[in-house]
Copies of this chain bind each other. A is one copy, B any other.
Amino acid sequence: MTVTRSNSSVTRISAADIAQLVKGELTGDGGLLISGFSGIKEAKKNELTFLGNPKYEPLLLDTQAGVILVPRQITCPGKTFIKVDNPSLAFTQVVNHLLKDGPEYKPCGIHPTAVISPGAKLARDVAVGAHTVIEDGATIAEGCVLYANCYVGHETRLGKDCLIYPQVVLREKVSLGDRVIIHSGTVIGSDGYGYVPVDGKHMKIPQVGTVLIEDDVEIGANVAVDRARFDKTIIGEGTKIDNLVHIAHNVTIGKHCLIVGQVGISGSTRIGNYVILAGQVGVVGHLEIGDGAVVMAQSGVSRSIKAGEQVFGSPAHPVKDALRNNAHIQRLDKYVEMIKDLKKRIEELERK
């Protein structure tokens, strides 16, 4: 009825146990304890990494990782490594194994102080924390966990295994896919910012659309995602959003994007798949950002960006141009001296 502690607080695993889990062939120190995961460049001594593509084999020489998952044909002399058929799949298996119980503490059952409308439909194993409110017509699928003090509006739908941390607001008619994670203080489905000037006042334009959040999206703390004016604001499958991000009405974000802290995306902009918007980026409304585009930190995007393009600056330009121009700006003092020197020398020549 209240809250239980899971038994999964131990997040260490030995190299030998990893080898057994992924059916791999271990070389090195089987007793080495692993407590984290990282890319091959960043991994530390207590972390597991993997070599997904044999062309990066040279990186094995420098990696600090404690244990490396490698393809069958590769060896790493002097390191602890495990040969497997598919290193990235094996890596996934280890991460999933250690994460299988989710966060260490979570509510179980329905807390007696939760206010759940008789017209809401909850799957049998849904957990609801203290003081959470679930309105009429809401539908919550199996495996969902809602912590304390949340609000789920009318006709809002949660897919399977969603994890909603304390004090999240899901306004009415919002849709979440499966395995969506939303952190505390985040608001999904607030009204879009839309007014029309009438007689010197800003008249509110009704925001009667909704928000669709697809499978495997994670959204950080104190984010705001506005509902569409009509139709839907969309966050695509597997996209990960950091803290304090602002997503305006009718924005569409594609699949597997990374939207880093304090980014703001204005109304009706469409963002492709695998796009990266680094910290504090701002994007003007009604633009198209192509698949795989990268916008560097603090940039201001005021025109559409092609697929694969990398931009920087406010206003943003292609990274190469922006870096070259920034370098020139650092040397303006020198250039101005040069101009003044040339002027003197020309005057000298003119005098002759």
- Minimum C-beta distance from A224 to chain B (A): 4
Show 19 residue pairs from A and B whose CB-CB distance is below 8 angstroms, ordered by the A residue: A3-B135, A39-B196, A91-B196, A92-B199, A95-B196, A105-B136, A105-B153, A113-B113, A130-B133, A166-B169, A181-B204, A185-B186, A191-B220, A195-B258, A201-B238, A202-B240, A246-B279, A266-B279, A328-B336
How far, in Å, is A156 (CB) from chain B's closest CB? Answer: 10
Inside 8 A of A203's CB, which chain B residues have their CB? 92, 95
Tell yes or no: A55 within 8 A of B by CB.
no
Q: Which of B224, B240, B266, B349 contacts A346, CB < 8 Å?
A: B349
Of the four ranges (under 10, 10 to 19, 20 to 34, 35 or more), the interface on chain A belongs to 35 or more
Output the nearest chain B residue to A107 by Cβ-Cβ distance.
Answer: B135
- Give Cα A111–Cα B181 distance, bound, in whole angstroms: 29
Interface stretch of the complex, out of A24-32, A58-66, A76-84, A313-321:
A313-321
Query: A282 contacts the other chain (Cβ, under 8 Å)?
Result: yes
B-contact 0/1 string along A30-56, CB 8 Å cutoff: 000001111100000000000000000
Bound complex: CA A105 to CA B155 (Å): 10
Nearest chain B residue, comparing its CB with the CB of A163: B191
CB closest chain-B residue, reference A44: B230
Q: Are A149 and B165 in contact (CB under 8 A)?
A: no
B117→A2 contact, CB < 8 A: yes
